Amino acid sequence: MKFKRIVFFTIVFFILVVFFFALKKSNIYNTKNLIGQKIEPFEIISFENNEIVTEKNLQENNFTLINFWASWCSPCRVEHPFLISLSKTKKVKLIGVNFKDKKRNAQNFLNTLGNPYDLIVTDNNGTYSIHFGIYGIPESILIDKELKILAKFIGPIDKDDYKKIFEIIKNDKKYN
């Protein structure tokens, strides 16, 4: 009987210790470590003509903002005017990654709000977004011609993010 009690309390103690350490572990998915790294090679399907798009397409401009969006995403509507403004500057190429969306709905979204993107690709099942460290939308990644991640924006692009993008571009000595 005494042996059973010792085994029981040992098991309970072990479970409590494991539970305690699990509570102290941070469960926040942090992607800040991606800044400064190069994006990995990829192949993804173009939204408009089903052609293959690779990382080489992102090297055509000094700076590219990859924006992950969907027509069903309310915050994507909030950031859209900032993307339209960015597209007019021609200092940064905009790539839109349409995330888990129906093509017809995405096209209606762009017809209604305007199309800021130089190129749109589609990620129907979310696989490619994970490749980029995306865990929610909208999110955006600013890269340079060498495919190095300069900044990551979680949530909708706002006025401060808009300014930060131009600050990064202006201060990058390689291309100025």
- What's the first-to-final CA gap in the chain, in angstroms? 79
Average pLDDT for runs of 10 along the chain of length 176: 74 71 55 81 88 87 94 96 92 94 95 95 88 89 94 94 92 68
pLDDT, position 17: 66
- Dist CA 48 CA 30 (whole Å): 33
What's the pLDDT score for residue 107? 96
Are 123 and 129 in contact, with CB atoms under 8 Å apart?
yes
Q: In the prediction, which pLDDT does 158 show?
A: 95
The H or E element containing residue 66 is: strand 63-69
Question: What pLDDT does residue 33 have?
Answer: 74
Instruction: Name the DSSP letter for residue 126.
Output: S
Amino acid at 86: L
Structural domains of the chain, ranges and CATH numbers in brackets: 28-171 (3.40.30.10)
Measured CA to CA, the distance from residue 130 to residue 4 in angstroms comes to: 48
- Residue pair 152/135 in contact (Cβ under 8 Å)? The answer is no
pTM over 0.75? The answer is yes
The pLDDT value given to residue 117? 96
Quick one: tokens of 84?
Answer: 């339209």
Q: Which residue do the tokens 């131009």 mark?
A: 166
Which pLDDT does position 109 carry in this prediction? 97
Instruction: Name which of 153, 175, 149, 174 is nearest 164 in CA terms.
Output: 153
What does the pLDDT read at residue 97? 95
